[in-house]
Amino acid sequence: MLLRHTPKEISERKALMINPAKTCQPIGAMYAALGIKDCLPHSHGSQGCCAYHRSTLTRHYKEPISAATSSFTEGASVFGGQANLVQAIDNIFTVYEPKVVAVHTTCLSETIGDDLPQIFDKAKKDKKVPEGKTVLGAPTPSYVGSHVTGFSNMVKAMAAMAEQGEQKNGKINLIPGWVEPADMEEIKRLAGLVGAKINMFPDTSGVLDGPLTGKYKMFPDGGTSIEDIKASGGGIGTLALGEWCSADAARLLDTTCKVPCSVIDMPFGLKATDRFIDALRTIAGTSVPDEIAIERGKLVDMVSDMHQYLYGKKVALVGDPDQLIAMTEFLVSIDMSPVHIVTGTPGKKFEKRIKEITADMGREVNVKAAGDMFLLHQWIKNEPVDLIIGNTYCKYIARDEDLPFVRWGFPILDRQGHQHFPTVGYKGGLRLLEQILGVLLDRKDRDDPEEKFELVL
Ligand code: SF4
């Protein structure tokens, strides 16, 4: 009963968050930067911030995360961090030899008012950025938004590097949003099957799901090269997955390089994957191969086979807006009832979308953007559910309320598999469904009286 003090009565809170359903902006920026090939992320702030960002990503991905820091002490905190960052850029290129350094700010450097473009100019003038190397930066003040905002800001900084070529390169820029490395791999596989040539950024596959080979590599083989990111300005179109994670970058490319963009939902579940495949097919001017139709059919088959165990089951969800929108739609489409939904990332558009998706459920849904897990727990106490889907922190609520729990989203600190097995696409839908059914049927086996305890379900 770790959360035994959570009261059932809900009182209005304006200036207090308890158990936030989010983490800090730079974590998202660091994750995005790791999707650039031969890139060293750099945290412009104190060592403590950087240690926290790295350790959170390491705990989730079970991989060492390399990142540098401006190591602010009292002096930098008072006089600004320019000297530290210029020195850091020099040291990083000299000692670690990355091709790219992707700098994000922190609460402290933003509060001081450090101006990254001006500091980068100074570093270039002082010849601290070697020929052919790149420094890019994103503002990520953590007192605004969430880790999702930080991810979006870093991806936007990548899009700002785009160069409008003389000719179109025939590729679709695909901005996948914050999904797992395995999801990025799956998105590339699906695009390949549709016959769409894509230029995807960022791409953490091959970076945070790498093999243990016995040989140390400072920079893993994966990631999108800076040349490809720059070439995105010559794309025939941009497909951005997720309004919160990817839309800003796509719209910037549209404005600066005249690359038309479509913003669609992340391809979790049946309908969102349908729209993703259709959008790819339309931009690429190809048709959908049988292989994809068969994968879709398998997902539909599992839904219809197991519908009796899914129908009407109440679900509480916590996570990031782009993921939750697609997941809510998936659950509604298989006749489950998502009833309590919380994201820590602000944005009233989220609540509107969720209400639209759940409009035909015949009941009001509790939904809150910029909410917290304390509120989610209170909602569950007032109206119990059959299942929780969310990040590892849900385990406290699941334990206290004795609820089946599927780990999905960020961060997952106490299980494995999320970085290796995709949940996007039709195959990903099968995995999601397998996980949901697994915990629901385990619970049924546990609770059924002996006369109803079945061998075959
Ligand atoms: S001080 Fe700000 S940037 Fe640093 S770890 Fe805390 S929330 Fe994140």
Domain ranges of the chain: 25-151, 172-290, 292-451
- Which atom belonging to ligand 1 lies closest to the Cα atom of 26? 3
Q: How far apart are CA 175 and CA 191, in angstroms?
A: 12
Provide the β-strand partners of residue 241: 264
**Whether the CB of 378 sits within 6 Å of ligand 1:** no
Provide the β-strand partners of residue 381: none
Residue 318's nearest CA partner among 448, 170, 146 is 146
Residue 118's nearest CA partner among 88, 154, 146, 86 is 86
pLDDT at 1: 62
Q: How far apart are CA 307 and CA 269, in angstroms?
A: 15
pLDDT at 90: 98
CA of 337 to the centre of ligand 1 (A): 36
- Identity of the residue numbered 103: V
CATH classification of 25-151, choosing from 3.30.300.30, 3.40.50.1980, 3.30.70.100, 3.40.50.1100? 3.40.50.1980
Q: How far apart are CA 403 and CA 13, in angstroms?
A: 26
Residues of the chain with pLDDT under 50: none
In terms of DSSP bridges, do strands 172-175 and 314-319 run parallel, antiparallel, or are they unpaired?
A: unpaired
Q: How far apart are CA 425 and CA 86, in angstroms?
A: 43
Q: State if pTM tops 0.85.
A: yes
Residue whose pair of structure tokens reads 């990031």 in the numeric block: 320
Pocket test for ligand 1, best of 23, 43, 52, 54 (most atoms within 8 A of CB): 52
**Whether the CB of 106 sits within 6 Å of ligand 1:** yes
CA of 238 to the centre of ligand 1 (A): 32
If you take atom 2 of ligand 1, which residue's CA is the nearest one?
107
**Whether the CB of 103 sits within 6 Å of ligand 1:** no
318 by DSSP, 3-state: which?
strand
Show Cβ contacts of residue 419 under 8 Å, excluding neighbours closer than 6 positions.
Answer: 60, 61, 62, 63, 180, 181, 182, 208, 209
Please give the CATH topology (third level) of the domain spanning 172-290. Rossmann fold (3.40.50)
CATH number of 292-451: 3.40.50.1980
Q: How far apart are CA 274 and CA 277, in angstroms?
A: 5
Same CATH fold assignment for domains 172-290 and 292-451: yes
CA of 119 to the centre of ligand 1 (A): 21
End-to-end CA distance of the chain: 32
Show Cβ contacts of residue 392 under 8 Å, excluding neighbours closer than 6 positions.
Answer: 407, 411, 412, 413, 414, 415
Q: How far apart are CA 356 and CA 63, in angstroms?
A: 39
- Would you call 311 exposed, middle or buried from its count of C-beta atoms within 10 A (0-12, 13-18, 19+)? exposed
CA of 23 to the centre of ligand 1 (A): 9
If you take atom 3 of ligand 1, which residue's CA is the nearest one?
106
CA 108 to chain centre: 24
**Whether the CB of 49 sits within 6 Å of ligand 1:** yes
CA of 57 to the centre of ligand 1 (A): 14
CB-based burial, 22-44: b 16+ in 10 Å, e otherwise: bbbbbbbbbbbbbbbbbbbbbbb
pLDDT at 255: 97
**Whether the CB of 423 sits within 6 Å of ligand 1:** no
Q: What is the pLDDT of residues 277-329, one digit of tens each?
A: 999 999 999 999 999 999 999 999 999 999 999 999 999 999 999 999 999 99
Pocket test for ligand 1, best of 17, 22, 23, 24 (most atoms within 8 A of CB): 24
Q: What is the pLDDT of residues 342-351, one digit of tens each?
A: 999 999 899 9
**Whether the CB of 70 sits within 6 Å of ligand 1:** no
**Whether the CB of 26 sits within 6 Å of ligand 1:** yes
- Pull the structure tokens for residue 237: 């179109």
**Whether the CB of 142 sits within 6 Å of ligand 1:** yes
**Whether the CB of 357 sits within 6 Å of ligand 1:** no
